[in-house]
């Protein structure tokens, strides 16, 4: 199946990209693939915007005192950074891009169950993002992405527009989740049984359940904060008879499950990548599939591990601590199974696989530091220090973004029919992984030393490690920029990839690259699981009539 432009079906039939033309055709499209591409553009824009703020924050921290901005600007900037990265990138990116694009292709469906609602979710994203970013910039919100009361209900800056933006984004998240759940239940092609469901789909399914169940609580909480601010209700502010800790419980009841909205899709992506590049079926398919559900379930009962020092009862802390261990346990099960999948495989060390290895490394350390935080007593020292900052960046940047990049490189030829430059991809992958370590390992040590987070200035003993972290961040920024450049270049100059450049037996590769506007002329019928490589070329997919 060596790719050659002439034999590539991609350029002989109109594909989804050029079947209809014009901006209008994109803005009103119901095609899940185009919606995925729109999410790609929007979330990557958000990511770079959030990244610019991150670099400005790091530059400010190069010296212990003021460097390039005042304290108020710094506080506003970390709020912007956090809100953009979490609500505009981490949560919507993988579901919006890869979920939309690949769930129907993987299960052999022509589209998602509700294509119009799918389009609506893009507009909800756009509206929510515009309101939130505009609100933060013009109102100068300085609460951090966690909006803790009573700070957020008493600060002199404007908070309501951000809350409204996050509320609308949450709606988008809910309808996406709903759409995927119905799609997976009702639209699987013949032969795609639950036990043959690609692991990415399993992970997206578990994610969708969390999105549908947890996000309404966020909406409710944000509304309560808005009521308190706008109408003066006493809900969270003790000065008005409210309870300051109630907010933290409600907020983390959403936001802890939300961290699994951010990591489960990533786990799904790497499950596909490791199988393709090892040419092996998943070792322990069931363990990997069900541990996703396990994480989704237990993830609802651990929110109190963010409140160990808040004065909640010691009994509650114990329960939340021990349950958090189980989340780590499910993660460990996945890590072991991914590793074992490589055993007796035929491994191609290509850019997506390098990102997979990076993911494994960051997830192991990010997860183990999560376990360390859940021992309860150690968290008393680490809570709200740079150690926690490093922990969640290891998982969210090290884990989710590595997986995002793995998926982006793996599926790039499928989505656009072109190959990127492998040499640049490898160089950038190494740069990103090294830069990431240099940025966040010093932050673990700063946390050990006791440097609190959200610190505009700091005592001199924290200086050297902060400089190291900023140096690492600049490498990281350079790495991401290189990725952006060569991927965009490849759209024009890249070698035509052919339908299946990786010889993958994932179900989604049984289509031309890029796929045609109509996914399947005839409904595919599968008689074996995805990623079985025990004999020669993949058995031809039969077609039902």
Partner 1 sequence: MNLVNEFLRKLLFLPLQASEWARQLDYLHYYVFITAMLGAWVTLATAVVFMIRFRRKHAEQSTPIVDPKPIHEAVFIGLPLVLFLSYFAIGYPQYVRLQTPPKGAIDVYVQGKKWMWKFAYPGGPNSTDVLRVPAGRPVRLLLTSRDVIHSFFVPALRMKQDALPGRYTQIWFNADLPGRYPIFCAEYCGLGHSSMLGELVVMPPAEWDEWMERERRSNQPQAQDGQPVEAEQVDLRGSLVDQGRRIAAVQGCFKCHTVDGTQHIGPTWLDLYGRTVKLENGKTLVADEAYLTRSMMEPNAEVVAGYKPVMPTYQGKLAAPDAAAITEFIKSLRTDAPTAEPQKGPIYVPVTGK
Residue 392 binds which entry of partner 1, ligand HEM, Cu ion, none, with Cβ cut-offs from 5 to 8 Å by kind?
ligand HEM
When asked if residue 526 is in the footprint of ligand HEM (CB under 6 A), the reply is: no
Question: Which of Cu ion, partner 1, ligand HEM, none does residue 446 bind to, with CB < 5 to 8 Å depending on kind?
Answer: partner 1
Query: In terms of Cα–Cα distance, which of 206, 220, 176 is closest to 327?
Result: 206
CB atoms within 10 A of CB 545: 5
CA pair distance 173, 185, nearest whole angstrom: 19
The reply to whether 485 sits near partner 1 by the rule CB under 8 A is no
Query: Looking at 365, 440, 486, 509, which residue binds partner 1 (CB under 8 A)?
Result: 365
Binding mask 366-395 for partner 1 (x = CB under 8 A): --x--xx-xxxxx-xx-xxx----------
| Cα 501 to Cα 413: distance, rounded to the nearest angstrom | 8
Report the site for ligand HEM in 310-329 (rule: CB under 6 A): 324, 327-328
Assigned token pair, 80: 């912007």
Interaction pattern, residues 130-149, with ligand HEM; x per rule: CB under 6 A: ----------------x---
Instruction: Measure the CA–CA gap between 118 and 100, rounded to whole angstroms.
Output: 9
- Considering only residues 102 to 121 of the shown chain, the ones binding partner 1 according to CB under 8 A are none
Under rule CB under 6 A, residue 259 binds ligand HEM? yes
Residue 12 binding: pick among partner 1, Cu ion, ligand HEM, none (C-beta 5-8 Å cut-off by kind): none
C-alpha span between 303 and 387 (Å, rounded):
18
Contact 136, 83 (CB under 8 A): yes
Is there binding between residue 373 and ligand HEM (CB under 6 A)? yes
DSSP H/E element including 403? helix 402-416
Binding partner at 333 among partner 1, ligand HEM, Cu ion, none, C-beta below 5 to 8 Å by kind: partner 1
Per-residue tokens: 502: 């990786």
Which H or E run contains 525? strand 524-525
Among 46, 208, 248, 383, binds ligand HEM (CB under 6 A): 383
How many of the chain's residues bind partner 1 (CB under 8 A)? 96
> Is residue 306 a contact point for ligand HEM (CB under 6 A)?
yes
User: Which spans of this chain sit near Cu ion (rule: CB under 5 A)?
Assistant: 256
CA distance 142 to 157: 7
Kindly state the smallest distance separating residue 369's Cβ from Cu ion, in Å.
12
Residue 100 Cβ vs Cu ion, minimum distance, rounded to whole Å: 27
Q: Is position 214 an interface residue for ligand HEM (rule: CB under 6 A)?
A: no
Buried b (16+ CB within 10 A) or exposed e, 463-485: eebbebbbbbbebbbebbebbee
SS3 501: coil
Choose which of 395, 403, 405, 476 interacts with ligand HEM (CB under 6 A). 395
Look at the block and give the residue holding tokens 């995805």. 530
Tell me: does residue 4 bind partner 1 (CB under 8 A): no
């Amino acid at each position: 199946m060596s790719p050659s432009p002439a034999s590539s079906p991609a350029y002989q039939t109109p594909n989804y990209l050029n079947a209809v033309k014009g901006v209008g055709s994109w803005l009103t499209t119901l095609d899940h693939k185009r919606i995925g591409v729109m999410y790609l553009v929007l979330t990557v824009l958000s990511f770079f915007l959030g990244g610019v703020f991150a670099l400005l924050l790091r530059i400010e921290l190069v010296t212990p005192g003021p460097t390039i901005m005042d304290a108020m600007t710094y506080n506003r900037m970390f709020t912007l950074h956090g809100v953009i990265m979490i609500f505009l990138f981490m949560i919507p990116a993988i579901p919006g891009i890869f979920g939309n694009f690949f769930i129907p292709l993987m299960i052999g469906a022509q589209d998602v169950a509700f294509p119009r609602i799918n389009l609506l979710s893009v507009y909800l994203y756009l509206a929510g993002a515009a309101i939130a970013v505009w609100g933060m910039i013009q109102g100068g919100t300085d609460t951090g992405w966690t909006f803790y009361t009573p700070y957020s209900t008493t600060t002199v800056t404007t908070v309501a527009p951000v809350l409204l933006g996050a509320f609308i984004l949450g709606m988008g998240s809910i309808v996406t989740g709903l759409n995927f759940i119905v799609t997976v239940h009702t639209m699987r092609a013949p032969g795609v049984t639950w036990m043959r469901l690609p692991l990415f789909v399993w992970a997206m399914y578990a994610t969708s359940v969390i999105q549908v169940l947890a996000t309404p609580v966020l909406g409710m909480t944000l509304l309560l904060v808005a009521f308190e601010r706008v109408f003066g209700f006493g809900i969270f502010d003790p000065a008005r008879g409210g309870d300051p800790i109630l907010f933290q419980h409600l907020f983390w009841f959403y936001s802890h499950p939300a961290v699994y909205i951010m990591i489960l899709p990533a786990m799904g992506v790497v499950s596909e990548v490791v199988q393709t590049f090892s040419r092996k079926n998943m070792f322990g398919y069931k363990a990997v599939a069900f541990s996703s559900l396990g994480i989704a379930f237990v993830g609802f009962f651990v929110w109190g591990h963010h409140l160990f020092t808040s004065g909640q009862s010691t009994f509650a802390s114990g329960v939340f601590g021990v349950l958090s261990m189980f989340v780590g346990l499910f993660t460990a099960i996945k890590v072991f199974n991914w590793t074992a999948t490589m055993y007796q495989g035929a491994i191609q060390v290509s850019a997506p696989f390098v990102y997979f290895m990076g993911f494994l490394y960051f997830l192991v350390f990010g997860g183990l530091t999560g376990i360390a935080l859940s021992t309860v007593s150690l968290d008393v020292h680490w809570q709200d220090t740079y150690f926690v900052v490093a922990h969640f960046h290891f998982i969210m940047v090290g884990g989710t973004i590595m997986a995002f990049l793995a998926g982006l490189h793996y599926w790039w030829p499928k989505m656009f029919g072109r190959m990127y430059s492998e040499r640049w991809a490898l160089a950038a992958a190494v740069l990103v992984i090294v830069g990431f370590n240099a940025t966040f390992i010093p932050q673990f040590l700063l946390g050990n030393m006791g440097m609190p987070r959200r610190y505009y200035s700091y005592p001199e003993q924290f200086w050297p490690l902060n400089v190291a972290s900023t140096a690492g961040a600049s490498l990281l920024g350079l790495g991401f920029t290189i990725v952006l450049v060569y991927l965009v270049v490849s759209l024009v100059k890249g070698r035509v990839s052919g339908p299946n450049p990786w010889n993958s037996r994932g179900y989604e590769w049984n289509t031309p690259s890029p796929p045609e506007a109509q996914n399947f002329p005839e409904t595919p019928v599968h008689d074996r699981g995805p990623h079985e490589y025990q004999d020669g070329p993949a058995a031809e997919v039969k077609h039902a009539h």
